[in-house]
Structure 1
Amino acid sequence: MIPCATDLQLAGVKFKKIKKSNNILNVKFRHGVLEITPFKIHYYSEALFRNLVAFEQCYPGADTYFTTYLMFMDFLLKTSKDVALLHHNGIIDNYYHGSDDDVANLFNRLCTGAFHTFEGSYLSDLHDNVQKHCENKWNMWRASLKRDYFTNPWSVISFIAALFLLLLTFTQTFFTVFPYYGPRS
């Protein structure tokens, strides 16, 4: 399973909208950036999405592109915080006349009862790459450092200055001690 959007953000994943795409199913993951085509949620979106999933589940020759996409969005949007994060990044526009919690609930109940797996789907490589990124501890540590300690440029500048002063202190100590313990001439 793919973690929700806020958990992905804690693992260092950034969200970005795809600017020029007419395909709502277009999702990419490269170098820690999850790119998603922006879309709007209207009052009729639930009926439309349910009918598309029902068609893909009932018609024997149909590919399951929409079911795959909606299950992916179901994994991403577990809570209102996840919806707010994607809205903040310009991916979701809510014209649903409800709260972010209503949008999260909409995606959480869309694929109820649908049979589907990511294996062999058009998002299977993306699913594997996101999983690998989240399992890498270095990505989580780096994201935590950026989020907790390096939130503004002054903290970065002060860290670099502290490292420079520490290097100068070690250099001074070395040149002070070396003549005493160094080779005798």
Structure 2
Amino acid sequence: MIAFELSPACETDIVIISYINFLNALIANPDDVKELRSKHILLNGVGSDEEVFKKFKEIATVRIHDASIYRNVRNDIEKHCRSKTRTWVAEIIYKYFRNPWSAFGLIAAIAVVVLAFVQTYFTIYPWKR
């Protein structure tokens, strides 16, 4: 596809080369391939994540690309990563809720506190029949 895109017969922009360069910029190690594969951005039919990583690094696009094509995507990714709220939420989920029992414990604790408030309210203001 890269060879066709660089041939004189192709009259389109160099979108494939730009996309491959963009993925090369995103993939720094095999763990990045694993992350992209888990989000269904990359479909791996080659083999291991290490092999996919090596294949992407072997593709020679001579760094010819149109950087403006994916500028909005890169800006959105950077904006997402700079968000303090999303960072804190992600850290809390990663740190405290990796185990499903942690989430169950939180729900149970919230239920106990809500029921304690309800019991206190009805003790102070009894239900009149």
Relative to the length of structure 2, the TM-score reads 0.65
Q: Residue 88 of structure 2 aligns with which residue?
A: 141
Deviation of 1:70 after TM superposition, in Å, equals: 0.5
Paired residue for 1:93, among 44, 47, 50?
Answer: 44
Q: Residue 76 of structure 1 aligns with which residue?
A: 26
Specify the structure having the higher radius of gyration (Cα): 2
Q: SS state of the match for residue 34, structure 2?
A: helix
Q: Residue 126 of structure 2 aligns with which residue?
A: none
Separation in structure 2 between the aligned mates of residue 60 and residue 144 of structure 1, nearest angstrom: 47
| 8 Å contact from structure 2 (residues 33, 53) kept in 1 | yes
Separation in structure 1 between the aligned mates of residue 75 and residue 60 of structure 2, nearest angstrom: 21
Cα-to-partner distance string for 1:49-68 (whole Å, 9 max, x where unaligned): 4x256x07x88964121122
Q: Residue 124 of structure 2 aligns with which residue?
A: none
| 8 Å contact from structure 2 (residues 15, 66) kept in 1 | no
Structure with higher helix content: 2
Size of the aligned set, in residue pairs, is 119
Cα-to-partner distance string for 1:116-173 (whole Å, 9 max, x where unaligned): 3522x1x32222211111111211221122222112443123224435556758xx7x
Return the letter of the residue paired with 2:87.
Answer: M
Structure with higher strand content: 1
Separation in structure 1 between the aligned mates of residue 28 and residue 96 of structure 2, nearest angstrom: 28
Aligned 1:128-167 pairs, distance under 5 A: 128-163=75-110
Q: SS state of the match for residue 93, structure 1?
A: coil
User: Which has the higher relative contact order, 1 or 2, with Cα contacts under 8 A spaced 6 or more apart?
Assistant: 1
Return the letter of the residue paired with 2:84.
Answer: K
Separation in structure 2 between the aligned mates of residue 103 and residue 85 of structure 1, nearest angstrom: 12
Equivalent pairs: percent with the same residue? 25
Return the letter of the residue paired with 1:105.
Answer: K
Gaps of 5+ in 1: 1-47, 173-185
Cα-to-partner distance string for 1:18-57 (whole Å, 9 max, x where unaligned): xxxxxxxxxxxxxxxxxxxxxxxxxxxxxx44x256x07x
Q: Residue 55 of structure 2 aligns with which residue?
A: 106
